[in-house]
Amino acid sequence: MSYKDGLSDLTRDGERSLTQQLVDLIAGAIRSGELAPQEQLLPTRELAERAGINHLTAVRTYRRLRELGLVSAHVGRGTFVRGASRPPDAARVTDSIAWQRYALPEFEESYADRVLAGMHGHVVAEGLIPLSVGYPSQRIWPIEAIREAAHGTLDDEIERALQYSEVRGVQELTEQLAQLSSDRGAAEDPRDIIVVNGASQALSLTMRAVLEPGDTVACEDPSFMSVLRAFRASGAKAVGIPVDDDGLDVDALESLLARTEIKALAIQPRFHNPTGRSLSPERSQRLLELARSHGFFIVEDGVYGDLHFGGEPPRSLRSQAPAHVIYCDSLSKTVGGGLRAGWIAASGPVLERLVTEKRADDIHSSTLTQLAVARYLASGAHADHVPRARGFYREQCAVMLEAIDKHFGDAASYPQPLGGGHVWLTLDMAIDERELIEQCARNGVACVPGAAMSVERQRDVSLRLSFGYLEPEELVEGVRRIAATARSLSRRPARREAVPV
């Protein structure tokens, strides 16, 4: 009997949940060989119809099968039996990799992990408009300035460029980064700077340096996926603090502090990813007062700090309270992510902890890249480049917002971005968020689901749409496809449910 025949025999009032019954049924078909390696499973919608269950139960079933290592999901294509799921033939036992499933430590992949992993593949997926990626467009890359800096480094310092260097970073670069900080109005000592491979490594090293398993850490809700991943990797418990048009809700943070001790707060106070809003000066002062009185670190992510759309940008938190703020930044959003040119600024004993973590991680960042980036900054090209990048992001944002207003109308809302590279779109439709994401992928457009950026369970259907990478016409078409997909789903009876993070 085919496993499909068993879909109609589920027990509705038994001890096992419907999800577990489906998992056992499909897993049995895989292990018996009925479902062969690389064979595609039924689409979740069809599985739900055949089994007489709601779509969310079908989604949970396939998620659990992925967690068991039996299937893999491919955006826009479907869910497939993994190649190593079937027991190997006796003749091929020596070549089998199946044993690794038992030898490797257990790993629980979160929804945010899966979204982040799939996001980078969206760029190269044929026929897919990747509104999911926060890459900078090559239209703003300072190519000639970088080429000149790289050639100069290769001509003048090739022997040094190929040698190991100081874990904190080459002196020329730490001095240039300190000068860049000073030019932004935040004086920094070069000795307080550590060069790292992008802001993601900066966040990861920082969390490892200040957190222990079981610590409580707070962050904005929603937050960038790499922040959530860094928390989980450290073994800390994350608590989400809501954000609004004035940034982090400091009242909510204060309420948390009244009942819970936190070790750190991760925040993007200037042009927050994904809302594009900034922490108001009044809230900034209250936040710093709380950090001083309660004794916790503020981990400030400043990657979008240069990309403001008008007026004077807010001051960094680091410039106002260096004893409490660990600052993470990179050139990824203005110059190019491929350089992996990032840095951390910190003061006091935590600085040496960070140096130790960096040394353990990779000894030091690429000497060649550091020397080339130092030349680029010293040339003055970056100071000329940033205003052009800022204007580009502002124009791209305007294109996306116009498309959203046209294609969604009153069916969606968003906070007006003050800068950055994203729009946080909330839909006023009774649809399932994950189903929307899956159907959008089938219709040739990718975006980041709100649940992947949320710490707490959320009931709203929200999407992060990124506008820095694509051509204007692609932004418009991508928004149009999302709106059309959402409207088609909203016409069907659906139950809006909280989505597990």
Q: What DSSP line would sit under 93-109, residue for residue?
A: GGG--TTHHHHSPP---
Q: Give the orientation angle of helix 44-51 with respect to helix 18-32, to 10 degrees.
A: 110
What is the pLDDT confidence band of residue 80, given thresholds at 50, 70 and 90? confident
Q: Give the orientation angle of helix 433-442 with respect to helix 472-490, to 10 degrees.
A: 130
Domain with CATH 3.90.1150.10 in the chain: 116-140+384-490
Window from 11-20, 33-42, 161-170, 472-481 with minimum mean pLDDT: 11-20
What are φ and ψ of residue 338, in 5° steps? -65, -20
CB-based contact 177:190 (threshold 8 Å): yes
- The C-alpha R_g of the chain, in whole angstroms, comes to 24
Mean pLDDT of 277-304: 98
What are φ and ψ of residue 461, in 5° steps? -90, 110
Give the model's pLDDT for residue 36. Answer: 87
**CA–CA distance, 482 with 447 (Å, rounded to integer):** 9
Window from 69-83, 99-113, 304-318 with minimum mean pLDDT: 99-113
425 has a pLDDT exceeding 90:
yes
Domain with CATH 3.40.640.10 in the chain: 143-382
Domain with CATH 1.10.10.10 in the chain: 5-107
**CA–CA distance, 20 with 28 (Å, rounded to integer):** 12
426 has a pLDDT exceeding 80:
yes
pLDDT above 90 coverage of the chain, percent: 70
pTM for the complete prediction?
Answer: 0.80
What is the pLDDT confidence band of residue 492, given thresholds at 50, 70 and 90? low
User: How much helix, strand and coil, in percent to the nearest 5, is found in the chain?
Assistant: 50, 15, 35
Indicate the fold that domain 143-382 takes in CATH.
Aspartate Aminotransferase; domain 2 (3.40.640)
* SS3 at position 16: coil
Tens-place pLDDT, residues 452-472: 999 988 889 999 999 999 999
**Strand (E) or helix (H) holding 31:** helix 18-32
Tokens 């960094």, residue located: 316
What is the pLDDT confidence band of residue 7, given thresholds at 50, 70 and 90? confident
Give the model's pLDDT for residue 497. Answer: 41
Question: What 8-state DSSP symbol labels residue 380?
Answer: T
Terminus-to-terminus CA distance in the chain, angstroms?
36
**CA–CA distance, 478 with 289 (Å, rounded to integer):** 43
Window from 69-83, 131-145, 321-335, 368-382 with minimum mean pLDDT: 69-83
CB atoms within 10 A of CB 125: 17
Give the model's pLDDT for residue 262. Answer: 97
285 has a pLDDT exceeding 60:
yes
Higher pLDDT, 276 or 78: 276
The mean pLDDT of the chain is 91
Inter-CA distances, 56 with 16, 70, 75, 235, 435, Å: 17, 19, 17, 29, 8
Give the model's pLDDT for residue 64. Answer: 87
Q: Which residues pair with 300 in a beta bridge?
A: 267, 327
Give the model's pLDDT for residue 250. Answer: 98
* SS3 at position 81: strand
Give the model's pLDDT for residue 496. Answer: 41
What is the pLDDT confidence band of residue 106, given thresholds at 50, 70 and 90? low
Mean pLDDT of 389-410: 98
CATH superfamily of 116-140+384-490: Aspartate Aminotransferase, domain 1 (3.90.1150.10)
* SS3 at position 413: strand
Task: Say which CATH class 5-107 falls into.
Answer: mainly alpha
